[in-house]
Amino acid sequence: MTSINLIDSFQEFKDFKNIDRPTVISVLEEVFRSMLRKKYGTDENCDVIVNPDNGDLEIWRTRKVMEDGFSEDDDLEIELAEVKKYDADLEVGDDYIEQITLESFGRRAILAARQTLVSKVLELEKDEIFKKYKDREGEIVTGEVYQVWKKETLVLDDEGNELLMPKTEQIPADYFKKGDSVRAVISKVDMVNSNPKIIISRTAPEFLQRLFEMEVPEIFDGLITIKKIVREPGERAKVAVESYDDRIDPVGACVGMKGSRIHGIVRELKNENIDVINFTNNISLYIQRALSPAKITSIKLDDETKHASVYLKPDQVSLAIGRGGHNIKLAGKLTGYEIDVYREAGEEDEDVDIEEFADEIDGWIIDELKAIGCDTAKSVLALSIEDLVKRTDLEEETIKEVIQILQSEFE
């Protein structure tokens, strides 16, 4: 192993993407000084010079010239008779400076030094990646899908750093294949077994918040503040916004002309239904807005237990609950109140338009029922399952599910 081999190894990592040159130079100097300490017992009288441009290395060792027989430490001193072999002009008290070649350390020491250099720089790079991404937690990152596994997806950023997106951090409708471009938010950065583990997420509320900041200049500029975001990823989200300028309508600004601003966000989130509502400190009004699109008749609040009893007309109950109960669940998370929905007293016998169940029953099924004249809940319940199977193109299992949904409306 010659000095050229070691310098070539330096060329391999002197331009590591996440480490600046002064840091690499200091690592190199420390490794060489460690070699000097092992060989000579000290490096105090040695100078290590590394050229940052090409990696050339020079090591110089200085020893004090002593009278013959008076040298006590060969590592720091050299006798006059010995030094005369190398430089006849030197006298007692002068400094003898000699260049140390890498070959003088021996093949084994050079191999060990090379291995130490590589491992130290790799360790430094891992630390730099960790710091870089730790500082960026909560930011959106764009990467390319490199590999898709059952429980997670590996994404590479522009610099080739590995980002992990677990299945739990993906929207249910997400489908990725190698080479796809993907956007997500950096949700968690940890050091696991000395390796940085960067978790990215598309389900975190912060991802939706960053998308709003990108699409709505008023949010980015601080004129509109997002007070809170709650999500059922891929299904529904509720975003409470507030404006510090009375001239700005926060909801209108977030939605945009004809929905222009929010459409891009909805597409990114795989058609997630996003409700943008005005934040208010008036809890009753806040709950009323949170349960949109349902129209509330009255509310009873218990501030101690954080419980709200909401009364609605029968045709609004299904709207308040929403498909799969997402609407009422998110309204509760947004307001911090446990919400119970009740029909208005004396309204139990009212019929409900079949269209009011659009959140729970697919549109094509509603169209099938309307085609045979069943345009209200009770008109459907008045027919037997056999009749409905005969008169529509619906399967018996589907009809049973529809009847169960309609019956729960009147329970």
Percent of the residues in the chain that have a pLDDT greater than 90, as a whole number: 39
**Any residues with CB less than 8 A from the CB of 100 and at least 6 apart, and which?**
36, 46, 59, 60, 61
Last residue of some domain: 247, 279, 311? 279
Strands 181-192 and 162-166, by their bridges, are unpaired
What is the rounded CA–CA span in Å between residue 34 and residue 258? 69
Mean pLDDT score, 195-201: 94
Instruction: Tally Cβ neighbours within 10 Å of residue 141.
Output: 19
Q: CATH number of the domain at 156, please.
A: 2.40.50.140
| E-assigned strand segments in 179-306 | 181-192, 195-201, 224-232, 236-243, 273-278, 296-302
Examine residue 316 and state whether it is found in any structural domain, yes or no. no
Q: Looking at the DSSP assignment, which residues form a beta bridge with residue 296? A: 312
What is the end-to-end Cα distance of the chain in Å, rounded?
86
Q: CATH number of the domain at 378, please.
A: 1.10.150
Q: CATH number of the domain at 225, please.
A: 3.30.300.20
pLDDT of residue 347: 46
Examine residue 59 and state whether it is found in any structural domain, yes or no. yes
Instruction: Tally Cβ neighbours within 10 Å of residue 395.
Output: 10
Confidence category of residue 52, pLDDT binned at 50, 70, 90: low
Mean pLDDT score across all residues of the chain: 85
Strands 236-243 and 195-201, by their bridges, are unpaired
Residues 178 and 120 in one domain: no
Tell me how far the alpha carbon of residue 171 is from its chain's centroid.
Answer: 13
Convert the pLDDT of each residue in 301-317 to its tens digit: 988 899 999 998 877 88
Confidence category of residue 3, pLDDT binned at 50, 70, 90: very low
Convert the pLDDT of each residue in 313-370 to its tens digit: 877 888 888 888 899 999 999 999 999 988 775 544 567 888 888 878 888 888 888 8
What is the rounded CA–CA span in Å between residue 109 and residue 104? 10
Total domains present in the chain: 4
Examine residue 215 and state whether it is found in any structural domain, yes or no. yes
Task: Find the helix or strand (DSSP H, E) in which 164 lies.
Answer: strand 162-166
Residues 70 and 160 in one domain: no
Examine residue 265 and state whether it is found in any structural domain, yes or no. yes
Site of tokens 């998110």: 330
Which is higher by pLDDT, 319 or 71?
Answer: 319
What is the rounded CA–CA span in Å between residue 200 and residue 183? 9
Task: Find the helix or strand (DSSP H, E) in which 46 lies.
Answer: strand 46-50
Last residue of some domain: 248, 279, 310? 279
**Rg of the chain's alpha carbons, rounded to an integer?**
36
Convert the pLDDT of each residue in 216-250 to its tens digit: 999 999 999 999 999 999 999 999 999 988 889 99
Residues 382 and 267 in one domain: no
pLDDT at 1 over 60: no
Residues 122 and 51 in one domain: yes
Residues 260 and 188 in one domain: no
Mean pLDDT score, 384-402: 87
Instruction: Tally Cβ neighbours within 10 Å of residue 164.
Output: 16
- CB contact at 8 A, 187 and 201: yes
pLDDT of residue 189: 94
Confidence category of residue 20, pLDDT binned at 50, 70, 90: low
Residues 117 and 57 in one domain: yes
Domain range enclosing 198: 144-203
Q: What is the DSSP letter of 150?
A: S
Examine residue 209 and state whether it is found in any structural domain, yes or no. yes
Confidence category of residue 411, pLDDT binned at 50, 70, 90: low
pLDDT of residue 278: 94
Residues 193 and 212 in one domain: no
Which amino acid is located at 331 in the chain?
A
Mean pLDDT score, 25-40: 83
pLDDT at 75 over 50: yes
Examine residue 14 and state whether it is found in any structural domain, yes or no. yes
**Please, how many CA atoms are within 13 Å of residue 376, restricted to the half-sphere of its CB?**
10
Confidence category of residue 13, pLDDT binned at 50, 70, 90: low
Residues 26 and 125 in one domain: yes
Q: CATH number of the domain at 68, please.
A: 3.30.1480.10
Examine residue 339 and state whether it is found in any structural domain, yes or no. no
Confidence category of residue 2, pLDDT binned at 50, 70, 90: very low
Last residue of some domain: 279, 307, 333? 279
Q: In degrees, to the nearest 5, what angle opens at C-alpha 328 toward C-alphas 322 and 329?
A: 115
Residues 181 and 160 in one domain: yes
Q: What is the DSSP letter of 376?
A: B
Residues 77 and 127 in one domain: yes
pTM of whole model > 0.85? no
* Window from 21-35, 137-151, 155-169 with minimum mean pLDDT: 21-35
Residues 25 and 93 in one domain: yes
What phi, psi does 379 have (nearest 5°)? -70, -30
Residues 208 and 197 in one domain: no
